[in-house]
Structure 1
Amino acid sequence: MPRRHDPERRQRIIDAAIRVVGDKGLAGLSHRSVAAEADVPLGSTTYHFATLDELMTAALRQANEGFAKAIAAHGGLTDTRIDLPAELAGLLGDWLAGERTGVELEYELYLAALRRPALRPVAAEWAEDLATLLAGHVDPLTARALVALMDGICLQVLLTDAPYDEEYAREALTRLIPAAPGRPLPAAPRAAAPGRRPRPGAARR
C-alpha cells in the first residue's frame, strides 16, 4: 500500500519539537519524543531531520520568526523620524508582555548554540537582521551595541523573573546613541574623585 503523502508533516514535526522543548526543556528533546508529540512514525522524524541538530536548527529558525513578527507588528522602525530608544524599549515591552513561555522557549533554543556549534549561524540571524534594520537609524557599530543591550535586558528579565522596566530600558538605550547636532549626551552619574571616599551618608542627603 503506497504511503499517504503528507506535505505538512515536516512542519508538524517542527511544531511538535517546539512544544516538547516548551514542556520538557532541551533535555526532553529526542526524535522519539517529537514523533510521539507530532503523532507520526519515528521514521518520519529521522527522514526529515537526520540529527537532533537539524531538528533544533529548524525549531530555532521558526522561533526567530517570533521576534521578527513582533518587529513587524510594531511597525515604527521603518520611520527614521522616530524616537529610537523609546521605540526599542516599547518593542521589548511588547515582546516580554504577558505570558513569557514563548520568549523563554526562544531563548532556550538560542542559548543551546553555546554547546551546539551547528546552531550558531541561525542563533546569530535575528541579531544580524535587527542590526541591519537599526543601521537605517544609527551607524553599524551603534546598531550592534543596541542589539547586544536589548539581548542583555531580555536575559536579565527572564532569568530574574523581574517585571520589565520600560523607562530603564529607554534610558539605557539612549546612552548608547551618539548625540545629534545640538543635542547633548545624557548626563552620566557623578563619581567620587580618584582616591577620595564619599563621606558617610553623603549619598542620602
Structure 2
Amino acid sequence: MSTTQPAPAARRKDPARPERIARAAIAVVAERGVDKLTHRAVAAEAGVPLGSTTYYFASLDDLLASALRQAAADDVAHLRRWAEGLADNDDLADALTDLVLHYLGPARSQTAVEHELYVAALHKPALRHVSQEWDSAMAELFSAHTDEATGRALTAVICGLLMQGIVRESVPSRDEIEMIFRRVLSGPAES
C-alpha cells in the first residue's frame, strides 16, 4: 500500500496584511515624511514582499489614503474611549484641555504624523475625502456632548491647537488651552 503525502495546504490569506501595510506606511511617514514614502520602504517596514504593497495599494496615493484612514480610525477610537470615560458632571473644558495636553505631550509624535498625513490632502486630492471623514467623525463625537455647531467648533479648535502645538517649540499653557475651550463652550459672545 502506497502512502502519498497530502498536497500542501494552500497558502492562507492574511486578512491583517492591508492594515499592517497601512500601519507601516504611518511609521514610514513618521520617520521620513510623506514625500519619502515608497512602496519599497513600506514593504520593508511591514515585513512583506514588495508585491504585497502594490497588490493592495496600486498607487502611493492609495497607500497614503489607507494610512490616513488608519490614523483617523485609531484617533477616533481613542476619542471614543476618552468620551466614554466622561461622567455627566465632568467639566468638559477641563477634560478637553487634558485631551489636548495628552496629544501634545505623551502622544506628540503620533499627533505629528497624523497631522502630516492630514495635511497631505492639500496636494493630493485623493486624500481630501478621508480628511473630511475624519473631521466629521470628530465633530459627531463632540456634538454628542454639546450640540452640532459647538461640536464642529470644538473640532476646529482642537485641530488648530494641535497643529500649532506640534509646530511650536513650546506647548501652550494649560490655562491658555482651558480658556479657549471655556470661550467656545460658553457660546457666542454678547456684543
Fold conserved between structures, TM > 0.5: yes
What interval of TM-score do these two structures reach, taking the shorter chain for normalisation? 0.7 to 0.9
C-alpha distance in structure 2 between counterparts of 1:44 and 1:2, whole Å: 20
Query: Which position in structure 2 is the counterpart of 1:193?
Result: none
Q: Is the 8 A contact 1:57 1:122 kept in 2?
A: yes
Query: Which position in structure 1 is the counterpart of 2:154?
Result: 146
Q: Runs of 5+ in structure 2 lacking a partner?
A: 1-7
Residues 109-130 of structure 1: per-residue CA shift (max 9 Å, x gap): 0100111111111112232112
Give the counterpart of 1:57 among 48, 55, 65: 65
Query: Which position in structure 2 is the counterpart of 1:4?
Result: 11
Residues 18-60 of structure 1: per-residue CA shift (max 9 Å, x gap): 1111111112111122122223222211110111111111111
Aligned residues: 183
Which amino acid counterpart does residue 119 of structure 2 have in structure 1? L
Q: Indicate the structure with greater helix content.
A: 2
Deviation at 1:153, TM superposition (A): 0.7
Query: Which position in structure 1 is the counterpart of 2:113?
Result: 105
Q: Is the 8 A contact 1:146 1:176 kept in 2?
A: yes
Query: Which position in structure 2 is the counterpart of 1:198?
Result: none
C-alpha distance in structure 1 between counterparts of 2:100 and 2:129, whole Å: 23
Asked which structure has the greater RCO (Cα within 8 Å, sep 6+), the reply is 2
Give the counterpart of 1:36 among 13, 34, 44: 44
Identity %: 37
Query: Which position in structure 2 is the counterpart of 1:72?
Result: 80
C-alpha distance in structure 2 between counterparts of 1:3 and 1:50, whole Å: 25
Which amino acid counterpart does residue 4 of structure 1 have in structure 2? R
TM-score (norm 2): 0.83
Give the counterpart of 1:86 among 84, 94, 99: 94
C-alpha distance in structure 2 between counterparts of 1:97 and 1:171, whole Å: 19
Which amino acid counterpart does residue 168 of structure 2 have in structure 1? T
C-alpha distance in structure 2 between counterparts of 1:103 and 1:84, whole Å: 21
TM-score (norm 1): 0.78
Distance change (3 Å), C-alpha of 1:11 and 1:67 = closer
Trace 1:10-21 onto structure 2 (pairs within 5 A): 10-21=18-29
Give the counterpart of 1:114 among 119, 122, 128: 122
Q: Runs of 5+ in structure 1 lacking a partner?
A: 180-184, 189-205
